[in-house]
Chain A
Amino acid sequence: MNAQELNDYIEKLNVDAEDLEGYLFEVSIYSEGAIAYSELREMPLKRIKVFEERLMDYMKKKSGKKGQEYL
């Protein structure tokens, strides 16, 4: 790996880390306090995805959509 490749690689790592942190903040914000950022950090990503799916489901139902409407 030459110097340029190393720099690109480090840059990619930083971007990926920021994306992941941003994702956790979003889930916490959209949950309106139901789950804290610090709690999300300690959870496996698989479980966060399950939480996110349920949250989306809840928000759609809350907005009045039901059944096939939001599929």
Chain B
Amino acid sequence: MTQNPLEKLYRHKTFYTSLPSQGRFYPSGVKLSADGELGIMPMSAADEIKLKTPDTLFNGEALYDLFRSTIPDIAQPEEIPVCDVDKLLLGIRVASQGKQLDVKGSCPKCEERKTYAVDLTLIMNTAATIDSNPVIKIDETLEVELRPFTLQSQIKGQIESFFQQRMQNMLSSDNNMSDEEKIKQFNQALVGAIAMQTTQIAECIVRVIMRGEPEDTIVTNPDHIFSWVENMDSATYEKIRAGIEKLSDPKIDDQVKVKCPSCEHEYRMTVNLDPVNFFSPRQQT
């Protein structure tokens, strides 16, 4: 069956939000409105079904498809810098089901369990703009231009840690495996984890600038950068990793202040921003 060209008329953008990245770090492009905001459409029923499909959730396809469907102005969802991800997910939730989220919490004083209405736009507004300089200075002769982690690298990292965890559980519970074989398997897993981390860091290095006479040398070749990361000293590695993490974290405050209606005690509770629970029309527990 051919796709209905009128499908695009079923939905329209109902919510606009600014981005912590301000639209930077999207190599394939992002189309912002005249006032620098990104338009978001509500989720379709098909999106809701995909978010409940375990396999597509695990490999990240559900999230990529969700962004493709609801935010068509992002050319490549895999490239979304992680500093924008949570704010965009909140925006999709607001566009789809409104700004109110019912969250259950137990009062630490009287232990009464109540449901509180949380305004998600207030949580969105806590996201800080990533305005730090993406170029860090390693020493007098070396500068590195960075970018935040991408959604794709974050998902790959999560999948890798899942398999690492599974491997560890298997090694600790398998009594039939010899100690030698366990050590071998463990070392293989360790090598895999290190390679993954190296790739993640290398992918966030846009270019390396070596100051020199008569002219500077600029390296952008991904293979050369990967080899450099593999062989760099730990102080440089830590400096670069800290720089990437700074660019990746918009410091969204997912804690809200509520007042217990029974004893009037004020306390803070955390709103779970996990995409699956978060988009469920039911209350969070």
A contact residues vs B (CB 8 Å cutoff):
10, 13-14, 16-17, 20-21, 24, 38-48
Q: How many A-B residue pairs have CB under 8 A?
A: 59
Taking a contact as CB atoms under 8 Å apart, the answer to whether A43 and B52 are in contact is no
Whole-angstrom distance between the Cβ of A48 and the nearest chain B Cβ? 6
Whole-angstrom distance between the Cβ of A63 and the nearest chain B Cβ? 28
Name the prevailing secondary structure of the B interface residues: loop
B contact residues vs A (CB 8 Å cutoff):
1, 4, 7, 10-11, 41-46, 48-49, 52-54, 57, 96-97, 276, 280-281
Q: Which residues of A contact B53 (CB under 8 A)?
A: 13, 17
Taking a contact as CB atoms under 8 Å apart, the answer to whether B52 and A13 are in contact is yes
A24 to B52, CA, bound (A): 15
Whole-angstrom distance between the Cβ of B151 and the nearest chain A Cβ? 21
Taking a contact as CB atoms under 8 Å apart, the answer to whether B11 and A46 are in contact is no
A10 to B54, CA, bound (A): 6
A14-B54, A39-B7, A44-B43 known, 5 other contacts, Cβ within 8 Å? A13-B54, A13-B57, A40-B45, A42-B7, A43-B10
Q: Which residues of B contact A17 (CB under 8 A)?
A: 49, 52-53
Q: Which residues of B contact A45 (CB under 8 A)?
A: 43, 45, 48, 96-97, 281
